[in-house]
Every structure is written in structure tokens, then in C-alpha cells.
Amino acid sequence: MNCLNCGTLLNESSHCPKCGFDAVVQKKVYLMSNQFYNAGLEKAEIRDLSGAIDLLQRSLKFNKLNIPARNLLGLVYFEMGEAVSALSEWVISKNIMPENNIAAEYINRLQSNGNKLDIINQTIKKYNEALNCCRNGSSDIAMIQLKKIVTQNPKFIKAYHLLALNYIEQNAYEKARRILKKAAKIDKTNSTTLRFLREVDERTGMQTSLESRWGSKFFGSGKDKGAEEYNAGAAAVVIPPTFRESSVFATLLNLGFGLVIGALVVWFLVVPANTQKINREANNKITEYSNAMASQASQLSKMEDEIEESEKTVKTAADQIDEAGKQVESYENLIKAFNAYREENYTNAANALMNVDAALLSVDAKAIYDSIYEDIRSTLFNKYSETGKEAYDNGDYATAIDQPSKAREMDGTDYEVLNYLALAYRDSGDNENAIKVFKEIIAQFEGTKRATSAQYYIDVINGVETDETGSEAVQGSDVTDDDSGSGDSGTGNYDDGADNSGDSGGNGSDDGSSAGDGYDDADYDNE
């Protein structure tokens, strides 16, 4: 900075070191110029080109020698498609400071690319023609021209404005909106752009969003890698060559992120949810089947219990029927016995009474049974005894045991009954009971031949040798064993009516039919 008065280079002092001129105002003017330049630079960085032009023009009004401000102003003009204005600023800048001025480089670059300069020049001429067409009422031709212009020179903001105005005039508001949005991307705060957009918004009733679809934080703003840098003095202005919502790399990155996030969502959310759903359904099925099985098992168990109960009931009913049958039979036999007893046919009465089971009778019936039984006891006794003997002779040892047993119950002191019973036991192979009965005989008839004979039989069963007497006695007794059916002399010899009657005197009701039964009693007694 030189002194206005003498041209001397000024220092930090407020006065000129040579002439002492008060340089406060001069310094303030330079300071204001620089401040406007800085503000204009900030505006240019955020693509507020209209604001930048205004501030830079003010800066140059304070100090026309502010080279950075002038170069930046040229850049901003160039960015807005106004190449002539830009060249003017750069030419002036180059004239003010011919050396070390970046404006010279800008001019050289533009001139070296003649094709581009030619295109710019053509678009400017076409724009002027289009403007004339509009003024002459040939807006259709003007619009065709303007569309070509914005294609050839996408930064020509005036062409966008004129095209948008024509669209608005033709009520093609959406087309106007698209064109104005493109213009807004070049210059965010252009008053014409904003005014036309407001008009479109009012007419369509829809607010125009100037924000990028993907947001300005990530793409399309800031310092891109491929952005052109123009060094204007001490400051650097970054102006992207073209405005893009997103680069190819960003799109691919987005796709990659989307795929990864999608895969993660599927892996961490969808797959576990699906697995859980399948498991839950399987568990529900298992529970259902378990419940069904438990229910069926319970029903089966219940039915088995019912079957068992039914079987028991059937068995009980069968037993009751059987018992009832026996009871009926007993009663029938009791009636038969009673009828026979009334007719004094004691034999038949005894036969019928034999088949009566006294345990099944009622109290009254049992009283009748006892009464008849007492009266025909001897008859019944003889019947049992005779039946036993006959059965023994016929080899029916079961009856031969059963009948004498009943007789023994009636009178346990009758030798004949005991002897046949013992023999029947012996011959049926039941030696134990046979010995028991033989011992009973020995006990009851101790010291007699009957006891000796019984002892002999016991010894034979036990395999012990006996003396001669016993043997003979056995021989005599044995006659009744095998040869009784032949009617040998033994029977006749032993038959002694007097002795027999005396022996069987216990049978008070003996009717003499048993006289011949005491075949060996007399002999033994006499001995």
C-alpha cells in the first residue's frame, strides 16, 4: 500500500513515514475492500454466486486494485456462463498486474481451448436471438433455441431464466420448476431464480425443495476430489466442474451398503425369526401329539379297567348263577327228601338228602333238613357205607373215599367204614391218609385184631416185616380186600348176627340190612 500523497510504501504506522500524511482513511478503505473480498469468497464457496458478485463488486469499488477480488469476480461470472464479463475482469486484472497474476493463466486457458470459447460465443449469440424472438412473440422458436443453449452451455444461468419464464408463460410449471432447480444448483441465491420458483410454487401450490435427494452432507457439496482449484492470490476458491447429485462411486457404495445391510438384516433378523417360528411350530405339534397320546393312554387304561370290572362282574354273576343253581338243586333235593320222609320211604329220603348242601339252605330250610337228617341218620349212614363199599369193589376210589368219609362224619367209631376208607386211601395211592385212618382204627380198637390188622397195613405201607400172627390176621382180613366180591367163606364165617348186632349197636336205626357187613367183627371180638 502506497501513500496517496507521496506514493511511499506505508508501514504499520497511521502516518506516512516520508511525508507524514494521515493514512488512516486510506487504510480503512483498503481494509473494507479486503473484508468485502473475504465475504465474497465465502459466498462463492457455498455457491451463492449472486451474493459473491455483489460483495466482490463492492470490494472493487473500495479498491479497484484488489487483484484477488477481481480475479474471483471473473471466475464467478464465468461460472454463471457470462464469459465476456469474466474475460473483462481478467483482462483488467492482467493490465493492473501483468506478472504473477493468475488471471493471465485463465485467459490463456480459455484462448487455448478455442472450441470451447467458440461454443460459448455461439450460445451467447443464440441467447440474444432467443431474447429477440421472445420480444417479437415467437416464444416457441425461442424455447427451442434456449433448450439447445442450456445443453451446450449448462452454466448459462440467464438462458435458464428465460426458458423458465417461457414455461411459466405457457403454464408448464413442472418444466419450469425443473429448469429453475438446475439454475439454483448453479447459483443458490439468484434473485431471479428464487422469484420465478416462488411464482411456480404459488401457482402449483407445491413447495419446491432445493435440497439434494441424498442430502448435501454426503455428496455433491464440499470439496470434491476432481474439483478445479483456482488460486486467486492468497485465497483458494474451490468450484466443482459440474454439479452432481452423486457420483458413480457413491452410487456403487450405496448399492454395496444396501446389499450388506440387507444381508445383515436377513441374517440377524429374518433367519432367527424364521428358525424360531419353525421351532415353535414343531414344539406345538409335539405338545399336541403328547397331549393326544396321554389322552388316548388314559382312555385305554380306563377301558381296560372297565373290561376288568366287567369280567369281575361276569364272574361274580356266573358264581351267583352257579350258587343259585346249587341252591335250587339243594332245595329240590330237600323237597324230595321231605316227600319221601313223609311217605316213610327213608331210603329215598336218604338218597335225596345226600345231595343237599346244608350250607346253602336258609334257616328254616336248615331246620327241616336237620329234622329229617336226625330221623334218617342211620339209614343215611348205611347208605354212605354201602355206596362206599360198592364203589371200592368197582375200583371207584374217589367215591369210595367220599362216601365213607361222610359216614365217618356221622359216626366215626364204625370199624367197617374206617377200614374201607383206609383201604380206599391206600389203593388210591394216598398212603398218608390211609395210615392216618389206620392209626385211628388202632386207637379206637386197641388190643384187638382190628388194631393188629391196621398196624400190619401200616407196616406194609412203610415196608416193615411183621410177625406170623399179624400175617395171618392180615390174611383173614385181606379176604375182604380182594376176594369179598367172590363171596368166599370168610364172609360167611364172620357173619354172626348176634355179634354184629352187638358191634354195631351204636346204629340205633339199623334195620338189619347191615347184618352181613360185620364179616370179621365177630371173629376179631371172639379172639
Partner 1 sequence: MINYEEELKKFKPCLDVDEVESAVYSRDLTDVIDILKEMMETDGQKEKE
Cell of 202: 404459488
Sequence letter at residue 390: E
User: Residues, the chain, total?
Assistant: 527
Q: Is 128 in the site for partner 1 (CB under 8 A)?
A: yes
Q: Is 121 in the site for partner 1 (CB under 8 A)?
A: yes
Backbone angles phi, psi at 83, to 5 degrees: -65, -35
Nearer CB in complex with partner 1: 5/428: 5
CB of 14 to partner 1, least distance (A): 15
Nearer CB in complex with partner 1: 93/379: 93
DSSP string, 71-108: HHHHHHHHHTT-HHHHHHHHHHHHHH--SS-HHHHHHH
CB of 216 to partner 1, least distance (A): 29
Of 164-172, 249-257, 424-432, 471-479, the segment contacting partner 1 by CB under 8 A is: 164-172
CA 102 vs CA 51, 70, 429: distances in Å: 23, 11, 149
Nearest to 240 by CA among 230, 250, 251: 230
Nearer CB in complex with partner 1: 87/352: 87
Nearer CB in complex with partner 1: 118/390: 118
CB of 8 to partner 1, least distance (A): 15
Sequence letter at residue 44: A
DSSP string, 284-309: HHHHHHHHHHHHHHHHHHHHHHHHHH
Beta bridge partners of residue 232, listed in sequence order: 235
Sole binder of partner 1 in the list 41, 72, 163, 168 (CB under 8 A): 168
Q: Is 5 in the site for partner 1 (CB under 8 A)?
A: yes
CB of 195 to partner 1, least distance (A): 8
Task: Count Cβ neighbours within 10 Å for each residue of 294-328 and write b for 16 or more, e otherwise.
Answer: eeeeeeeeeeeeeeeeeeeeeeeeeeeeeeeeebe
Number of residues that bind partner 1 (CB under 8 A): 39
CB of 248 to partner 1, least distance (A): 34
Nearer CB in complex with partner 1: 125/302: 125
Q: Is 162 in the site for partner 1 (CB under 8 A)?
A: yes
- Long-range CB contact pairs, 57-61, < 8 A, 24+: 59/32, 59/33, 59/34, 59/35, 60/33
Could you say which residues in the range 174-233 bind partner 1, by CB under 8 A?
192, 195-196, 199
Q: Is 91 in the site for partner 1 (CB under 8 A)?
A: yes
Nearer CB in complex with partner 1: 159/380: 159
DSSP state of 266: I
Of 129-137, 238-246, 379-387, 437-445, the segment contacting partner 1 by CB under 8 A is: 129-137
CA distance 158 to 71: 21
Of 130-138, 182-190, 284-292, 360-368, the segment contacting partner 1 by CB under 8 A is: 130-138
Q: Where are the alpha helices (DSSP H) in 360-496?
A: 363-375, 377-393, 397-410, 415-427, 431-444, 449-462, 468-482, 489-494
CB 403 within 8 A of CB 388: yes
Q: How far is CA 391 from the centre of its chain?
A: 80
CA 222 vs CA 28, 44, 73, 91: distances in Å: 33, 12, 20, 30
Nearer CB in complex with partner 1: 23/454: 23
Could you say which residues in the range 448-487 bind partner 1, by CB under 8 A?
none
CA dihedral (466, 467, 469, 474) in degrees, to 10, reads 20
CB atoms within 10 A of CB 257: 10
Of 165-173, 280-288, 365-373, 488-496, the segment contacting partner 1 by CB under 8 A is: 165-173
Of 117-125, 258-266, 355-363, 490-498, the segment contacting partner 1 by CB under 8 A is: 117-125
For residues 21 to 40, the per-residue mask of contacts with partner 1, x marking binding by CB under 8 A and - elsewhere, is ----xx--x-----------
Sole binder of partner 1 in the list 87, 163, 376, 421 (CB under 8 A): 87
Q: Is 135 in the site for partner 1 (CB under 8 A)?
A: yes
Could you say which residues in the range 141-160 bind partner 1, by CB under 8 A?
158
- Residues in contact with partner 1 by CB under 8 A are 4-5, 25-26, 29, 60-65, 82-85, 87-88, 91-92, 117, 120-121, 124-125, 127-128, 131, 134-135, 158, 161-162, 165, 168-169, 192, 195-196, 199
